[in-house]
């Protein structure tokens, strides 16, 4: 791994970029001030020494809100991707493993979920669950379930047909043993790469949902929400909208670059498949 890092400057750059943002999010309470405290008399200020990225309409520190927004965003999307991976990934692998009617039913249901435009399905799910960060997690998770299922089913099929798995079956290895010793290890690079790429996409989806007022709710800071509030007084004070947009871009960019570079390093065969 270290050797790979030395070889691949891009991967190391991506890793550093992502880790830096993760650290900022984790240590937000130390690095920045209180994201909720209002100093109404100094509202809508531009960047200054005291507020490096200015203040918003209620006089809150934009820098602190962005760092805490990172937390919201990462937590929401992290939960979503893990959820999608566990549910979707297992469904895909099991479908490949058992084949037959189970495969057919599962994949048909995945087709139905996949048929919705992502945002639309997420909006519907959040409407049912109520607008908050957890609903956004669940909504994004559900939306990504078919992606993981489809993604893992194909390679799993190949592995299950392979001679060594057939051999293991012949000598009486249990189903769970085959899944855990053959299937999962062989899929781990694929999973890692896709999780990173989907996290990047999820950050954008979460931001869109928050932008529409369907993500984390005030007073919890969230990047999309800052952007949508900021746009109401863009001409008076563009900073909250501008900076929160950059924050979304950096976060999403970091994970996408990481996934992209990981793909090269871990699995050269995947090199040219985009998306």
Partner 1 sequence: MRFLAGRLLDLVLVLFGVSVIVFLMIRLIPGDAVAIMLGANTEITPERIAELESRLGLDQPIVVQYFDWISGIFRGDLGTSIWTGRPVAQEIAANIWPTLQLTFLSVLVGAGLAIPIGCFMAEARGKTAEVLVRVGAIAGLTIPSFWLGIVSIFLVAKLMPGSAMLGYVPFGEDPLGNLQRMILPVFALSLPMLANLSRLVRSAMLDALGQDYIRTAKSKGAGRTRVVYVHALRNALIPFITSVGVATGYLLGGAIVIEQVFAIPGLGQLVLGAISERNYPLVQSAILVLTFAFVLVNFLVDILYAAIDPRVSQR
Partner 2 sequence: MRIKTLGAALLASTCLFSAAQAATLDVAVDSSPAGLDPHLVTAFSSVVVIGDTIYEGLTTIAEDLSVQPGLAKSWEISEDGLTYTFSLHENVTFHDGSAMTAEDVAASMRRVLNEEMGSPLASRISPITEITIVDDTTIALTLDAPFAPILTSLAGIAIVPSEAEMDTEALQQVPVGTGPFMFSEWVPNSYISLTAFDGYRDAELPKLDEVKFHIVPEAATRQVGLASGQYDLLPGVDPATALQLQASPGVTVLETRDLSYTLIGINTSRPPFDNAVVRRALNMAVNRDEIIAAALFGNGVAAGPLSPALQAWALDPATFDCYSGDAASAAALLAEAGVETPIQAELLVLPRQDAKDIAQVVQQQARAAGFEIELVNKEIGAFVQDWRNSDFDLFASANGGNPDPDGYFYRTFYGGGSTNVFMYDDAEVNSLLDEGRTSTDMATRQAAYNAVQTKLACEGPIVHVAYGSLSTAINDNVSGFVINPNRRLSSLKSVEVSE
Site for partner 2 in 230-249 (CB under 8 A): 231-236
- Contact flag: residue 45 with partner 2 (CB under 8 A): no
Measured from the CB atom, the residue of 82 and 119 that comes closer to partner 1 is 119
211 is in the binding site of which of partner 2, partner 1, none (Cβ under 5 to 8 A by kind)?
partner 1
Distance between CA 111 and CA 227 in Å, rounded? 33
Q: Could you tell me if 227 and 247 are in contact, meaning their C-beta atoms sit under 8 angstroms apart? A: no
The alpha carbon torsion through 80, 267, 18, 137 (nearest 10 deg) reads 0
Measured from the CB atom, the residue of 222 and 256 that comes closer to partner 1 is 256
Measured from the CB atom, the residue of 178 and 199 that comes closer to partner 1 is 199
40 is in the binding site of which of partner 2, partner 1, none (Cβ under 5 to 8 A by kind)?
partner 2
Site residues (vs partner 1, CB under 8 A)? 10, 108-109, 111-112, 115-120, 123-125, 127-128, 130, 200, 204, 207-208, 211-212, 227, 231, 234-235, 238, 241-242, 245, 248-249, 252-253, 256-257, 260, 272, 274-275
DSSP string spanning the chain? -HHHHHH-HHHHHHHHHHHHHHHHHHTHHHHS--SS---GGG-S----SSSTT-B-TTS-BHHHHHHHHHHHHHHHHHHHHHHHIIIIIHHHHHHHHH-HHHHHHHHHHHHHHHHS-HHHHHHHHHHHH-SSHHHHHHHHHHHHHHHHHHHHHHHHHHHHHSHHHHHHHHTT--HHHHIIIIIHHHHHHHHHHHHHHHHHHHHHHHHHHHHTT-SS-TTS--HHHHHHHHGGGTTT--HHHHHHHHHHHHHHHHHHHHHHHHHHHH-GGGTT---
Measured from the CB atom, the residue of 112 and 171 that comes closer to partner 1 is 112
User: Minimum distance from CB of 115 to partner 2 (Å)?
Assistant: 24
User: Minimum distance from CB of 36 to partner 2 (Å)?
Assistant: 8
Site for partner 2 in 103-162 (CB under 8 A): 127, 130-132
67 is in the binding site of which of partner 2, partner 1, none (Cβ under 5 to 8 A by kind)?
none
Q: How many residues bind partner 2 (CB under 8 A)?
A: 25
Which of the stretches 6-14, 30-38, 167-175, 242-250 binds partner 2 when contact is defined by CB under 8 A? 30-38
Neighbours of 33 (CB within 10 A): 16
Measured from the CB atom, the residue of 1 and 115 that comes closer to partner 1 is 115
- Contact flag: residue 20 with partner 2 (CB under 8 A): no
Please report, as ranges, the residues that interact with partner 2 according to CB under 8 A. 36-38, 40-41, 43, 57-59, 127, 130-132, 213-214, 217-219, 229, 231-236
């Amino acid at each position: 791994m270290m050797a790979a890092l030395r070889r691949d400057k891009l991967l190391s750059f991506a890793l550093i970029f992502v880790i830096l943002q993760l650290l900022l999010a984790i240590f937000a309470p130390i690095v920045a001030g209180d994201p909720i405290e209002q100093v109404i008399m100094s509202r809508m200020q531009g960047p200054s020494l005291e507020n490096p990225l200015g203040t918003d309409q209620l006089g809150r520190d934009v820098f602190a809100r962005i760092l805490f927004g990172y937390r919201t965003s990462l937590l929401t999307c992290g939960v979503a991707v893990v959820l999608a991976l566990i549910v979707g990934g297992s469904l895909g692998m099991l479908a490949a493993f058992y084949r037959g009617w189970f495969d057919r039913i599962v994949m048909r249901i995945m087709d139905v979920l996949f048929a919705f435009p992502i945002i639309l399905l997420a909006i519907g799910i959040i409407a049912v669950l109520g607008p908050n960060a957890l609903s956004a997690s669940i909504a994004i998770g559900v939306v990504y379930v078919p992606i993981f299922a489809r993604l893992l089913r194909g390679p799993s099929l190949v592995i299950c047909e392979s001679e060594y798995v057939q051999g293991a079956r012949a000598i009486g290895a249990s189903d769970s043993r085959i899944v855990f010793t053959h299937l999962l290890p062989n899929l781990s690079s694929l999973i890692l790469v896709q999780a990173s790429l989907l996290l990047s996409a999820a950050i954008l989806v979460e931001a869109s949902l928050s932008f529409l007022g369907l993500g984390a709710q005030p007073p919890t800071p969230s990047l999309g929400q800052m952007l949508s509030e900021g746009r109401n007084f863009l001409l008076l004070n563009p900073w909250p909208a501008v900076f929160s947009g950059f924050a979304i871009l950096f976060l999403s960019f970091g994970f996408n670059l990481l996934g992209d570079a990981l793909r090269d390093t871990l699995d050269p065969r995947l090199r040219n498949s985009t998306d």
